[in-house]
Amino acid sequence: MPEGDTVWNTARVLHRALAGATLTGSDFRVPQMAATDLTGWTVRESASRGKHLLLRLAAPEGRSDTRHWTLHSHLRMDGAWRAYTPGERWTARPAHLIRAVLRGTGAVAVGYHLHELALVPTAEEDSLVGHLGPDLLGPDWDPAEAVRRLAAHPEATIGEALLDQCNLAGVGNLYKCEVLFLRGVSPWTPVGAVPDLAGTVALAQRLLAANRGRWTQSTTGSLHRGGTSYVYSRRAQPCRRCGTAIRKEELGERVTYWCPVCQPPPDPSLP
């Protein structure tokens, strides 16, 4: 599941494959960029902001009044970028899912099922990511600001508030469920009733940071199949702490997993 750590890892893959390279070709298979050709452009760096990928480019000298541009993409639930060596077969996903191809001299980056592909002046990146809250894996991570933004809507459920990228950027459904289990907080608890928001935010950051640099996401410390989470994707399986069957229900637009004993409801009328 692409969450902040996955996007951070993806940005690093793209950076290693293309940073410093002058592109020898490009191919965009989305209508709004079908005419875009980045041949001769230089890749400056690749960065992530929450779940957004920002590939920063320099246009060839004299080609454009604006020199620095950013190729933006969002992975949502199913997107991915992969780097291949030139001549290697592109086997990660079916070819019909390819949305972008960037050819460097030493590597080819292929973007599958990308969303929100856009080329914008780097100076205008904020038009795409300026609404985001502090980035849990960003160099400017600001936990106090994340707590402030969460606390500004005390009536929202903590389960939905942690997913709102305007509060803090990078938590997806997996980390949301796991953080709340580890804190013993029901996902239905109003933000205003969460005992220690700062501790919750700090734990979310630690869990994401611990998974940087690897593709298996684990919150338990185990990398074994079936052992990587406490509650996420474990419906009806026994809680690793108390043995109670893990529950799964819709909360807002997403499903949530929780242990009804370890995470008691804030109000008896709630799940």
Where in the chain does DSSP place strands (E)?
25-28, 42-49, 52-58, 68-74, 80-84, 98-103, 108-112, 115-121, 247-251, 254-258
Cβ proximity of 40 and 63 under 8 Å: yes
Residues 6+ apart with CB under 8 A from 102: 18, 23, 26, 38, 43, 55, 108, 109, 111
Tell me the closest approach of the beta carbon of residue 263 to Zn ion, in angstroms: 7
197-210 helix and 173-183 helix, angle to the nearest 10 degrees: 130
Half-sphere exposure of 109 (CA within 13 A, CB side): 28
**Contact string 224-253 vs Zn ion (x = CB under 5 A):** ---------------x-xx-x---------
197-210 helix and 4-18 helix, angle to the nearest 10 degrees: 40
2 is catalytic: yes
Tell me the closest approach of the beta carbon of residue 265 to Zn ion, in angstroms: 13
User: What's the rounded Cα separation, in Å, for the pair 40 and 165?
Assistant: 35
260 is catalytic: no
Give the nearer residue to Zn ion in terms of CB position, either 184 or 195.
184
Binding residue for Zn ion (CB under 5 A) from 17, 171, 185, 262?
262
176 is catalytic: no
Asked whether position 259 contacts Zn ion by CB under 5 A, the answer is yes
Asked whether position 182 contacts Zn ion by CB under 5 A, the answer is no
**Catalytic residue (one of 60, 241, 254, 265):** 254
Asked whether position 177 contacts Zn ion by CB under 5 A, the answer is no
Tell me the closest approach of the beta carbon of residue 228 to Zn ion, in angstroms: 17
Binding residue for Zn ion (CB under 5 A) from 152, 223, 261, 270?
261
Asked whether position 174 contacts Zn ion by CB under 5 A, the answer is no
Give the nearer residue to Zn ion in terms of CB position, either 41 or 232.
232
Asked whether position 180 contacts Zn ion by CB under 5 A, the answer is no
Binding residues (CB under 5 A) for Zn ion: these are 239, 241-242, 244, 259, 261-262
